[in-house]
Amino acid sequence: MPNTVTVYDLTRLVRELLEGSALLKNVWVSGEISNFKAHSSGHCYFTLKDDRSGVRCVMWRSKTPSLRFVPSDGMKVLARGSIGVFERDGTYQFYAEQLEPDGIGSLYLAYEQLKSRLEAEGLFNPSRKRPLPSFPRLIALLTSPTGAAVRDMVKVLSRRWPLSSVLVIPVIVQGAEAVPSLVAALDSLQARPEIDVAIVGRGGGSIEDLWAFNDERVARAIAGCSCPVVSAVGHESDFTIADFVADRRGETPSAAAELVVPDITVVKRQVDLLGQRLSRGLMSKRLQWRQQIDWLATRLTAASPRQRVVDGRHKANELRRRLTQTMLFLLAKDRGRVAERAGRLKALSPLSVLARGYSVTRTLNGDVLKSADQVACGESVVTTLARGSMVSIVTGKGE
């Protein structure tokens, strides 16, 4: 019988040959991901393939934290790892230790994936952005206490608005501990209701240096912060996920400081202008009120009982004067009429006739004698002259 080996021995031999080959250790393999599955255990299983072949791959849970992006089917990647044999099935597979997108950086890909996901959730929506307070009293700076950024921000805040207080909350802004440090600092603001606004950030650096501000945990901590948050990460050209989630973005730490406080010189100038407008307005109102008071005083005086009595007296005096004038006018008019009639009466009066030398003779009975036939001889008659009268006895009569 020829030499024979068991299936297990054969598989073990193949494994030793493959895993012992220096060429198959720490090798980079390019291919397209298919059948990707992230197991609940934390391990990732997938196949790398090209147009002619495919190889089964495993990435253990201990290696997945190094992923900067979320692998998916159809994605072209570069995988670094080693060849091994799965003895139970007698198949070889690739044990991946690192995955990189083929043609695009993993950090950029992770950035774009997280940005798209958070944007779809509405974390970038302008409607959820909170306005910054106009005149903050306490400003929290979440940054490195030893970096240039904190000095720049404190300098700007002190110059522009010295009335506010600044609280520096030290955080780690770079490295493996940066994300937990930033999240803890942001969460601590929940217990500080006296803080009006917070600036979170750091100075410039590479994408790796700024990567903590592209972490999902930091983004959600900013979104859930109890006070408005201004991001101040890197330089003007640096955009991080924190910039999109924050209520406002400062292009630099100094620019962020300028956003959260007004310029005291501008405010003083505005206060002076408002004071002048207020003074002019008060003077105008004072004049209006004085005119209104004078008008009301005039109305009140006119409506008062004393004034009514005075007005009544004036009116009575005027009526008395007019009545007197009217009576004098009527009296004069009546006097003239009486004088006229008296003249006419005088002209017709018998006394006037008597005054011209005529006389009136009456009988003793008072009858005026108009004819001699009215008396007999020896009868007495009375003759009235212009001055006085006389009694005569008729001794004879003529025709």
Burial annotation 124-139 (CB, 10 A radius, 16+ → b, else e): beeeeeeebbeebebb
Say how far apart CA 150 and CA 228 lie, in whole Å. 19
Statement: 127-262 belongs to CATH 3.40.50.261: yes
Say how far apart CA 228 and CA 246 lie, in whole Å. 8
Statement: 7-104 belongs to CATH 2.40.50.140: yes
Residues in the chain: 399
**Helix residue spans in the chain (DSSP H):** 7-19, 106-121, 148-160, 178-188, 216-223, 241-245, 253-260, 264-303, 305-348, 350-355
Nearest to 96 by CA among 56, 126, 41: 56
The strands making up 389-393's β-sheet, listed across from edge to edge, are 360-363, 380-384, 389-393
Kindly state the tokens that stand for 96: 């991946």
Kindly state the tokens that stand for 41: 């255990």
Sign of the CA dihedral with 359 first, then 362, 364, and 365 last: negative
User: What are the sequence ranges of the domains in the chain?
Assistant: 7-104, 127-262, 266-303, 353-393
pLDDT tens digits in sequence order for the chain, 399 residues long:
567 777 777 778 777 787 777 778 889 998 888 889 999 999 999 999 887 888 999 999 999 988 888 888 878 888 999 988 888 888 889 999 999 888 666 677 788 889 999 999 999 999 999 999 999 999 999 999 998 999 999 999 999 999 999 999 999 999 889 999 999 999 999 999 999 999 999 998 877 788 899 999 999 999 999 999 999 998 877 789 999 999 999 999 999 999 999 999 999 999 999 999 999 999 998 989 888 888 888 877 777 777 777 777 888 888 888 888 888 888 888 888 888 887 777 777 776 666 676 778 888 887 877 777 788 887 888 888 778 888 888 788 776
Say how far apart CA 82 and CA 105 lie, in whole Å. 22
